[in-house]
Structure 1
Amino acid sequence: MVISIPTAAAAADEIRALRERMHRMTDGVPRMPLDTHPALSGVVQLRTGGAYEVDSAALALALMAGPSRAGAWCAVVGVPDLGAEAAAEVGVELGRTVLVPEPGDLWLEATAALVDVAQVVVVRPPGRVAEHLAEKLGARLRKRGAVLVACGPWPRAEVRLSATESRWTGVGRGEGALRARRLVVEARRGAAPARRTSLWFPALDAPLRRAEPTTEATPARLAPVREAG
């Protein structure tokens, strides 16, 4: 009689598969995938009931764009500097977007209420979020089949997205104008290896698109500069 002993790699793969199944099924409610902007395809997949953390409003807009273009209602809480024009250009349907720019101390109540009516809710907390509050809101997300995108730290975020290596092009030796920005988006999910992709955001020919995986040429006569601030 031969007993098969799984290798460490096989055991790790099985554990990852089980964790994925648990992520997709929480509180007995199936976790459905939402549309993702093509530029972020393969880097992050939004699923109903999940909370996602981003380090900028720009990345929040990129995550909103896919579901919004597919017909979902979205909401933005506590982001007074959100650019409506930039949101529309990247694909967010403003006619199906609720804006609460300055909720004050009622940001959590406003967020919870909007989870009941919008499928994607973006929020910028005014400070540190207690873990028990995040878990309570998480239960509401799972029940309503909604997604939370937090601009800033969020306890137990499913995926954390950050933008690095930002380079603007368009300014030469004191002349010209900022026209395009290339950056690297990194997505971290728990202890798994980070997923990375290069984006033009904005690009010369589109508000947002994937950069070539190799050394894509910088547009003619455009010199890269460091992003201000």
Structure 2
Amino acid sequence: MDLDELRRRVARLEGRPVDTAAIPVHPALAGLLTPRAGGVYGVDAASLALTLVSGPSAAGAWCGVVGCPDLGLEAAREAGIDTDRLVAVPDPAELWWEVVAALVDALALVVVRPPARVPQRDAARLAARLRTRQCVLVVWGEWPRCDGRLSLVSSHWSGVGHGHGHLRSRRAVIEARTDVTVSRSREVWLPGDLGQLGPVEQPVAAARHEQPDLQLLRGAS
């Protein structure tokens, strides 16, 4: 039995819609992770969240971002995101759940950064809503259950010399895990010298000295 057939059987048992279409992904993630409409996908870095958004956005989908005040529009554009079709709510305060639910109802993909630990029952209610609306949720942080997760295993910036120069490119290793514990990894540019995101043509061993994730963001933590 292949993975798609397993999903169909589980969907029937749970009363979920059987046909969950795969959403477009950026070439950097092609073959590494295949997000599906109605699913929840976790990331541990803002750069990975932006890369997940860039696929549907480039295909014309409307996307949203909730609770990420440090996310910059310039960084989003560099990642290939159409900012004219991006709805950003940097600080929803006590209306976090209401804002997320409203965007899930209207958009194709929503990125969230939870302000606190999310209870299992609340995550389950939102998961049912995602399946009904066929929206993808990308969680930057912890979530009770994800259909897949992207992690930044290592990251190495280049371009800075001895007291001179500027950061030009970042070579990173990304690991993907799915809900059936399949694990894959790939070395990618986030970004390359020309600002491009994509797989490294001739991968090398991951750098042992990891540097802080600058995430294509301006001032993000």
Tell me if TM exceeds 0.5. Answer: yes
Instruction: List per-residue Cα deviations over 1:125-184 (Å, max 9, x = no partner).
Output: 001101111110011111111000001011110001111210000112222111100111
Question: Residue 38 and residue 51 in structure 1: after superposition, are their counterparts in 2 closer, same or farther (change >3 A)?
Answer: same
Instruction: Note the residue ranges of structure 2 that are not aligned, 5 or more in a row.
Output: 214-221
Of residues 117, 128, 137, the one that matches 1:128 is 117
- The amino acid of 2:128's aligned partner reads A
| 133-142 vs 173-182, which moves further | 173-182
| Partner residue, 1:147 | 136
Contact 1:115 1:121 in 2 (8 A): yes
CA 1:28–1:226 in structure 2 vs 1: closer, same or farther (change >3 Å)? Answer: closer
Percent of matched pairs sharing the same residue = 46
Count of aligned residue pairs for this structure pair: 209
Deviation at 1:41, TM superposition (A): 0.1
Length-normalised TM-score, structure 1: 0.84
Hey, what does 1:80 align to over in structure 2?
Answer: 69
Equivalent AA in structure 1 for residue 91 of structure 2? E
**Contact preservation (8 Å) 1:24, 1:31:** no
Closer/same/farther in 2, CA of residues 77 and 191 from structure 1, 3 Å limit: same
- Work out which structure has the larger RCO, using CA pairs closer than 8 Å and 6 or more positions apart in sequence: 2
Q: Say whether 1:196 aligns with 2:179.
A: no
State the match for 2:156 in structure 1: 167
Contact kept in structure 2, 1:24 and 1:32, CA below 8 Å: no
C-alpha RMSD of the superposition: 2.1
In structure 1, list runs of 5 or more residues that go unmatched.
Answer: 1-13, 217-223
Q: How many angstroms apart in 1 are the aligned matches of 2:77 and 2:127?
A: 28
Contact preservation (8 Å) 2:169, 2:195: no
Q: Which residue in the other structure is 1:20 paired with?
A: 7
Once the two structures are superposed, the pairs formed by residues 26-37 of structure 1 within 5 Å of their partners are 27-37=16-26
1:30 is paired with a residue whose SS is: coil
The residue number in structure 1 matching 2:47 is: 58
